[in-house]
């Protein structure tokens, strides 16, 4: 599709860079709206010709139609959990007596929107178990609104807290801390989000009466949070700046100072070079996970009386990912070759036992308090949907609390982990999921997925939509690229800023491994990534367009010279660098997906984004699609699909998710020459 081009140019450090589609940054203009309408119509016209599209939709609907449980929260005499009967657009929050009484619906977000576009994205219970605060997102936006309900009666209070973004709900005393921004006067899906402030809200009060706790008037591109320990002996403030991926920690001893907005917090750290993540307190000790002097992290405790640190659990070959304290035990979740292992220690770091997980998978701690004698966590693997497990700490017994059931033959699917060499010889792990009995003849359709950034690890998880591809002979591969957190901070740093090319090399080497070992061939290989992974796909198909048949960049960061100018993009400078720095500008320009499109034959490409994505704003995909459509040669299609009333992916309704995945898999099956079985 044609879009008006301009002669606009920007000057970066003396170098002139053309930006002919800069008008697309005005995403609310009639011109851009017309472009979206025409692109969606063109994409629909193409997809409607795929004869098996309805069959794909039907099968995806079948696979999604199973009961799912998640996120157990124990609050006094009640247990809360989320449940979805299958095709409900949003998960419903249920309340149940701890004594295994009947479950009742406590909050149903499906009643808040006819299209199911309002999602509950956070739930937090007050220390006295009187109130439950929850945050909602509308149309997939990162903007949140917070409401409060009485737990015993289920009554909703009149409180409504707006302009909240990237905030937790941190209870303390008779209220909670939260972060908010000033009301956006212009385009809230574009305007730069700066100058957050921390406020304290007391249930029953108006938001206008909330007390300002902290702001930084000297640095409007800083993020922070204020929270207390469970026993409310200390307040903490953690701060992050855009140029570093570490943080500073400050604390206030409430036994000595009761003024929660006192600026004279004591500093535990002097710079932003390392991560400091508080676990919990025990008397005068504060427990932390840190990577200071420990790339794979260690656990330390800080003596607030003596002002000294002591190592409790040293760094090892495994990466410490998270930890909780319960029943006077330190329960630590590790990453071992990109899957989770959970180990129990006493509070001095003495090993006690390892929790026997069902297999190689991913575990997520649910809400935990120090007083708990049992903890809940969610476990999943490539062929097993989420199961909520309960672990009795003193008896060392693990049991199933809630189990999801899906109607497919899990025994037909196998998974394994392999290690391959990247361009520089680094060993990279990759998971492969496929149907039993697959022949390595180079003729199998394959999907290679990657992310590679922000210290985020690719671990085994369950996605029902993958089954469609696998049961029709596809091989699904997930590469654990540098830039992620699979092997600690050194692994992360090896794929960030001036090392970003390592991520692309790792992904290209993964594709070459699959081809060389006869899993697939270039004519049968599709690649996919979301967000930072969308950037990855845009970069690798520029560098090796010959290696892939299908490309699926979704909600990607495509303009690496201007990403920091929109909404929360400035916060990614810690991973990407910035075009405002001369050296980083030159590096970014070398791989920026938008700026490296060439007049060559590209893979069949389906670019997906959403009109309400206020994290990676859709202008990235608009400019990228227009440029790729203009310059590409050959007959492979380049299509743009823009989801409506949805965002970056958070809280997407089940119906919209099925619609989007139907279009994606239809495009993949058709362009890989796959036949739909059944």
Same domain, 483 and 561: yes
- The residue segments making up the domain with residue 660 are 9-61+410-672
Tell whether 476 and 591 lie within a shared domain. Answer: yes
Percentage of the chain lying above the pLDDT 70 cut:
99
Domain finish residue from 196, 228, 260 = 228
Structure pTM?
0.97
* Residue 298 is assigned to a structural domain of this protein: no
Report if residue 316 sits inside a domain.
no
In a domain, 624, yes or no: yes
Tell me the pairing of strands 118-125 and 104-107: unpaired
- What is the domain count for the chain? 2
The pLDDT value recorded for residue 677 is 82
Helix (H, G, I), strand (E, B) or coil at 668: helix
Q: How confident is the model at residue 404 (pLDDT cuts 50, 70, 90)?
A: confident
Q: How many CA atoms lie within 13 A of 398 on its CB side?
A: 16
pLDDT digits 0-9 by tens, 349-373: 999 999 999 999 999 999 999 999 9
d(CA 595, CA 572): 19
Whether 583 is in a domain gets the answer yes
Q: E-assigned strands of 265-396?
A: 266-267, 276-282, 285-290, 298-303, 308-313, 319-326, 329-336, 339-346, 351-355, 362-365, 374-381, 384-392
The answer to whether residue 223 is domain-embedded is yes
- 56 with 171, same domain? no
pLDDT band at 259 (very low <50, low <70, confident <90, very high): low
Residue 188 pLDDT exceeds 80: no
Which of 71, 595, 648, 666 is catalytic? The answer is 648
223 within 8 A of 240, measured Cβ to Cβ:
yes
pLDDT tens, residue by residue, 82-136: 999 999 999 999 999 988 778 999 999 999 999 999 999 999 999 999 999 999 9
Asked whether residue 460 is domain-assigned, the answer is yes
* Alpha carbons 543 and 593: distance in angstroms, whole number: 10
> pLDDT tens-digit profile of 220-245?
889 999 999 999 999 999 999 987 88
- Whether residues 42 and 27 share a domain: the answer is yes
The CATH number that applies at residue 615 is 3.40.50.1820
Establish if 402 belongs to a structural domain: no
pLDDT, average across residues 16-28: 96
Burial of 573 (C-beta count, 10 Å sphere; 0-12/13-18/19+): buried
| Spatial CB neighbours of 499, under 8 Å, sequence gap ≥ 6 | 482, 483, 493
Question: Which DSSP category does 155 fall into?
Answer: P
Structure tokens given for 632: 């590409």
Looking up residue 76, the CATH number of its domain turns out to be: 2.130.10.120
Which residue among 228, 259, 291 closes a domain? 228
Per annotation, catalytic residue among 228, 509, 531, 666: 531
299 phi and psi angles, rounded to 5 deg: -115, 130
Reading the block at residue 317, the tokens are: 């070959």
The answer to whether residues 513 and 637 belong to one domain is: yes
Same domain, 533 and 552: yes
Q: Are residues 37 and 148 in the same domain?
A: no
394 is catalytic: no
Residue (of 434, 643, 661, 654) closest to 552 by Cα position: 661
By the 8 A CB rule, do 587 and 563 touch? no
Q: Which of 517, 540, 386, 525 is nearest to 464 (CA)?
A: 386
Residue 636's alpha-carbon distances to 51, 554, 602, 629, in angstroms, are 19, 18, 7, 10
Same domain flag for 223 and 131: yes
Which distant-in-sequence residues (6+ apart) come within 8 Å of 649 by Cβ? 140, 530, 531, 555
Instruction: Assess whether 45 and 155 both reside in one domain.
Output: no
531 catalytic per annotation: yes
> Is residue 2 over pLDDT 60?
yes
Q: Which residues contact 58 (CB under 8 A, 6 or more apart)?
A: none
Q: DSSP characters for 229-298?
A: -TTSSEEEEEEEETT-S--EEEEEETTT---TT-S-PEES-SSSSS-EEEEEEETTEEEEEE-TT-TT-E
Report phi then psi at 565, rounded to 5: -90, -5
**Residue at a domain's end among 228, 257, 288:** 228
Mean pLDDT of the 526-547 span: 99
pLDDT given at position 186: 76
Q: What is the pLDDT of residue 1?
A: 61
Q: Is the pLDDT of residue 299 over 70?
A: yes
For residue 449, pLDDT over 60 is answered with: yes
Residue 187's pLDDT band, with cuts at 50, 70 and 90, is confident
The answer on 22 and 171 residing in a single domain is: no
Residues 13 and 106 in one domain: no
Q: Is 518 contained in some domain? A: yes
Same domain, 564 and 650: yes
């Amino acid at each position: 599709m044609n879009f008006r081009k301009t002669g606009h140019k920007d000057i970066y450090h003396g170098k002139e860079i053309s930006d002919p589609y800069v008008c697309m940054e005005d995403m609310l203009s009639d011109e851009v709206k017309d472009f979206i309408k025409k692109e969606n119509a063109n994409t629909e016209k193409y997809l409607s010709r795929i004869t098996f599209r309805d069959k794909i939709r039907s099968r995806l609907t079948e696979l999604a139609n199973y009961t799912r449980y998640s996120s157990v929260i124990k609050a006094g005499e009640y247990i809360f959990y989320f449940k979805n009967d299958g095709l409900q657009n949003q998960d419903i929050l249920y309340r149940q007596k701890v004594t295994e009484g009947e479950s009742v619906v406590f909050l149903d977000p499906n009643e808040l929107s006819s299209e199911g576009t309002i999602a509950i994205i956070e739930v937090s219970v007050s220390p006295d178990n009187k109130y439950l605060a929850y945050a909602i997102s509308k149309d997939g936006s990162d903007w949140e609104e917070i409401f409060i309900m009485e737990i015993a009666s289920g009554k909703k209070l009149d409180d409504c807290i707006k302009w909240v973004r990237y905030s937790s709900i941190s209870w303390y005393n008779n209220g909670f801390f939260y972060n908010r921004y000033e009301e956006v006067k212009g385009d809230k899906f574009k305007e730069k989000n700066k100058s957050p402030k921390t406020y304290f809200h007391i249930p029953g009060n108006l938001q206008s009466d909330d007390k300002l706790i902290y702001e930084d008037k000297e640095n409007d591109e800083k993020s922070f949070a204020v929270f207390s320990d469970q026993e409310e002996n200390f307040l903490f403030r953690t701060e992050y700046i855009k140029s570093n991926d570490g943080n500073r920690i400050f604390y206030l001893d409430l036994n000595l100072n009761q003024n929660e907005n006192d600026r004279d917090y004591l500093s535990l750290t002097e710079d932003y070079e390392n991560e400091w993540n508080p676990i919990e307190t025990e008397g005068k000790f504060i427990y932390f996970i840190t990577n200071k002097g420990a790339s794979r992290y260690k656990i330390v405790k800080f003596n607030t009386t003596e002002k000294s640190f002591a190592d409790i659990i040293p760094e090892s070959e495994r990466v410490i990912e998270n930890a909780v304290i319960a029943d006077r035990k330190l329960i630590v979740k590790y990453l071992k070759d990109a899957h989770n292992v959970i180990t129990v220690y006493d509070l001095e770091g003495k090993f006690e036992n390892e929790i026997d997980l069902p297999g190689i998978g991913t575990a997520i701690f649910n809400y935990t308090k120090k007083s708990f004698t049992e903890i809940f966590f969610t476990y999943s693997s490539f062929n097993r949907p989420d199961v909520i497990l309960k672990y009795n700490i003193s008896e060392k017994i693990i049991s199933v609390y809630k189990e999801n059931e899906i109607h497919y033959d899990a025994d037909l699917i196998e998974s394994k982990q392999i290690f391959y060499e990247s361009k520089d010889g680094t060993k990279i792990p990759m998971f492969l999921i496929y149907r039993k009995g697959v022949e390595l003849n180079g003729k199998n359709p394959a999907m290679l997925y990657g992310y590679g950034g922000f210290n985020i690890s690719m671990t085994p998880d369950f996605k029902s939509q993958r089954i469609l591809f696998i049961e029709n002979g596809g091989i699904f591969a997930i590469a654990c690229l540098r830039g992620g957190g699979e092997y600690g901070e050194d692994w992360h740093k090896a794929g960030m800023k001036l090392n970003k090319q390592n991520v692309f090399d790792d992904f290209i080497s993964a594709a070459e491994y699959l081809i060389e070992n006869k899993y697939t061939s270039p004519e049968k290989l599709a690649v996919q990534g979301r967000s930072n992974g969308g950037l990855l796909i845009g970069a690798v198909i520029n560098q090796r367009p010959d290696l892939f048949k299908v490309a699926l960049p979704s909600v990607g960061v495509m303009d690496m010279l201007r990403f920091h100018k929109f909404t929360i993009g400035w916060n990614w400078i810690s991973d990407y660098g910035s075009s405002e720095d001369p050296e980083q500008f030159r590096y970014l320009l070398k791989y920026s997906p938008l700026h490296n499109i060439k007049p060559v034959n590209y893979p069949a490409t389906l670019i997906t984004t959403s009109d309400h994505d206020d994290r990676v704003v859709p202008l990235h995909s608009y400019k990228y699609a227009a440029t790729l459509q203009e310059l590409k040669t050959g007959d492979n299609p380049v299509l743009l699909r823009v989801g409506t009333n949805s965002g970056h992916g958070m809280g997407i309704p089940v119906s919209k998710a099925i619609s989007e995945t139907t279009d994606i898999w239809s495009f993949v099956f058709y362009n890989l020459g796959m036949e739909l079985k059944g």
